[in-house]
Structure 1
């Protein structure tokens, strides 16, 4: 589990670097951990809106604009959820799960 989270936070940090956000690895790790906890509140689909608002609020503590925080949040959504779902759909088409008979 520790390795999984280290990889996840590293990926999140690389996404932040790709947007030239001036946040440290520790900032990203803490903010994403908080955002992932907030996403567990069942008020939206895939955390859309709750993750965005959380990251906007947390990033603003470091002087990051709301626009940049929203861009980061959408990039995280696309990278981890949309791309993952697309790969799953492709895998399902290649080798579908057989139904119970």
Structure 2
């Protein structure tokens, strides 16, 4: 488990996934990879730049001691944009599962 800091991501795309969702991309498009792979290089660069604004609030790992298992020994992540966290504005947080 982690509070703030860097995530222990399984697929390393959480910040980008959050930015895509903020801009209206459906979860289906995000998880299939359709949206990102169909973008031109300048749009990818812009998204990559925007995605670094996201920060991890917390991460909950699968934990046999507490009998919590997220899928196949996965993790749940909750992310927020850095500026929103400074303002304590939790209206645009995203929770994602990776396993």
TM-score normalised over the length of structure 2: 0.31
Q: Which structure shows the bigger proportion of residues in strand conformation?
A: 2
Q: Which structure shows the bigger proportion of residues in helix conformation?
A: 1
TM-score normalised over the length of structure 1: 0.31
- Greater RCO (CA < 8 Å, at least 6 residues apart): 2
Task: Give the structure with higher Rg (CA).
Answer: 1
